Amino acid sequence: MLFDYSREPHSDIAFVDMKSFYASCECVRLGLHPLTTSLCVMSRSDNSAGLILASSPVFKQVFGKKNVSRSYDLPFDLKTRKFNSYVAKKQGLPTDPGFIAYIESWAKRTLIVPPRMNAYIQVNMEIQKVFQEFAAPDDIFPYSIDEGFIDLTSSLNYFIPDSSLSRKEKLDLLSARIQKRIWQETGIYSTIGLSNANPLLAKLALDNEAKHCRNMRSNWSYEDVESKVWKLPQLTDFWGIGRRTEKRLQGIGITSIKELAQAHPDLLKKEFGVMGLQLWFHAHGIDESNVHKPYRPKSRGIGNSQILPYDYHLQTDIELVFREMAEQVAIRLRRKKKKTQLVSIHASYSKIEGLPSIHCQQKIEPTQSTKVLSDTVLRLFRSKYEGGAIRQIGVFYGELVEESLQFFSLFDDPIALEKEEKLQQTIDRIRDQFGFTSLQKGSSLLESSRAIARSKLTGGHSAGGLDGLT
């Protein structure tokens, strides 16, 4: 080993993950056991192209479906619950009578429910209260709605004063108490990755071992780097390595975490920059981050995308949604007191079209004007669109600057600009006070409009990400 781990940071970390959180919440609501019920949380659950947001362990085991897939990928018809031979053959699944009977039997017992984001947020708040029974608020870092880090370094001896036990034993015992309290308060089962070293190793323990343990807990610390971290079967089993990074690593002859750890750091820096050095340190189990000062990436822009409820064939309907999204993201821009210098859009065609997605962008003078941004978005779309059914669109504003930055053109009308700015400010104030839907264009009542429907969703699912505007 190149490192003396006695000199590295040592914290007692628990990374807690709620098992199939959305699906478990729905099972508890219905009085069903989260670990023995086949249930799927599906957006647009009455739609043949419904999006699977979450599913119970049994659902995943039976149908082999991960989250964020589509209803048309299921081996059974959503409405009839009959076996879908076409999908099965396409996915290489058996089509013998025994397997068909097995799938149809479970399909009939499977519950398909729509998402209830507000309810999941409420359960998350209850879980956060449980965390605070065992650690100070500063020792808790929520990682997402269903998982988070807890630094239990200051809590171990308080809750488990037995001096005959090691810190590893104490961490396991205290984590078991946390699991029990979460279940008592919410009915939700949790999995916990543990480490007496750092957050990285706790996360690796969770992802690669704890989920497969009977007690749903596992501890990886510095002494486990060679025996566990370096033995991970795939590069993508490692935190921070996706398919693209895996391919780039393979391109320079690195096919395992052990090879990554033994590679020359200069080679990794040349290929990946600073991130390459970070990967090298992480491969040795070294992580300088901590729960109290977590790394937060610097925002480089504001944007949002949405999957349309059905295929949009008419250009006027597609442009209406683009116009709404341009306005929605512009509101977020003004809330952050920023202006954008780069407008980018994308539009993905329906599967039936078989056409490549539209991607284009344009540099502009700094602005936060809804009119300017809407006009730019539509102009970009019209420059590339030549017909066809659209199913997904997105709008992004980048290269942000402070709103105080102002450029004037000789062709600008200062009075008109001032009037428009005051109008935008007035509209924003009214919406802040009375809700996003208090002021809407008449076009929002059209069937193809998505503004009102999306404003009723929660958090990142809301209209353009307009948290709290409803």
- Lookup result for tokens 């901590």: 290
Query: Which residues have CB under 8 Å from 167's CB, separation 6+?
Result: 12, 156, 196
**CA 320 – CA 329 distance, rounded (Å):** 14
The structure tokens listed for 396 are: 């992004």
**CA 316 – CA 448 distance, rounded (Å):** 9
Among residues 288, 226, 235, the alpha carbon closest in space to that of 260 is found at: 235
Range of 406's domain?
301-465
- Residue 299 CB: number of other CB atoms within 10 A? 10
pLDDT in tens, 72-108: 888 898 889 999 898 888 888 889 999 999 999 999 9
- CA distances 62 to 85, 102, 247, Å, are 16, 9, 31
List helix spans (H) across 2-145: 21-29, 57-63, 85-90, 97-109, 117-134
Q: Look at residue 257 and tell me if it is in a domain.
A: no
Q: Look at residue 446 and tell me if it is in a domain.
A: yes
Query: Which residues have CB under 8 Å from 468's CB, separation 6+?
Result: none
- pLDDT for 161 equals 95
Q: Look at residue 308 and tell me if it is in a domain.
A: yes
The structure tokens listed for 281 are: 């340190």
Q: Look at residue 11 and tell me if it is in a domain.
A: no
- Residue 7 CB: number of other CB atoms within 10 A? 7
CB distance 319 to 379 below 8 Å: no
Q: Any idea what the Cα angle at residue 333 is, between residues 329 and 339, rounded to 5°? A: 125
For the purposes of burial, counting CB atoms within 10 Å of the CB of 38, is it exposed (0-12), middle (13-18) or buried (19 or more)?
Answer: buried
The structure tokens listed for 83 are: 């076996």
Among residues 255, 294, 268, 264, the alpha carbon closest in space to that of 140 is found at: 294
- pLDDT for 459 equals 46
Q: Look at residue 139 and tell me if it is in a domain.
A: no
pLDDT in tens, 274-321: 888 989 999 999 987 666 655 454 556 889 888 887 889 899 999 999
DSSP-derived secondary structure for 401-446: EETT-----TT--HHHHHHHHHHHHHHHHHHHHH-GGGS--GGGGS
- pLDDT for 420 equals 63
Among residues 207, 189, 198, 184, the alpha carbon closest in space to that of 149 is found at: 198
Query: Which residues have CB under 8 Å from 120's CB, separation 6+?
Result: 21, 22, 25, 145
DSSP-derived secondary structure for 313-351: --HHHHHHHHHHHHHHHHHHHHHTTEEEEEEEEEEEE-T
Q: Look at residue 384 and tell me if it is in a domain.
A: yes
Whether pTM > 0.75 for this model: the answer is no
The amino acid at 357: S
Among residues 396, 362, 360, 381, the alpha carbon closest in space to that of 315 is found at: 381
Q: Any idea what the Cα angle at residue 300 is, between residues 297 and 302, rounded to 5°? A: 110
- Lookup result for tokens 């999204």: 325
| Domain tally, the chain | 1
CATH at residue 408: 3.30.1490.100
- CA distances 80 to 47, 87, 108, 290, 315, Å, are 13, 15, 9, 51, 34
- CA 74 to the chain's CA centroid: 22
The structure tokens listed for 236 are: 């993508």
- CA distances 329 to 332, 377, 395, Å, are 5, 11, 8
Among residues 149, 157, 143, 158, the alpha carbon closest in space to that of 194 is found at: 149
Q: Find the length of the chain.
A: 470
- pLDDT for 438 equals 47
DSSP-derived secondary structure for 12-47: -EEEEEETTHHHHHHHHHTT--TTT--EEEEETTTS
Catalytic residue IDs: 147
Q: Look at residue 62 and tell me if it is in a domain.
A: no
**CA 67 – CA 93 distance, rounded (Å):** 19
Phi, psi of 86 (to 5 degrees): -60, -50
Positions of the chain with pLDDT under 50: 295, 297, 407-412, 438-439, 445, 452, 454, 457-470
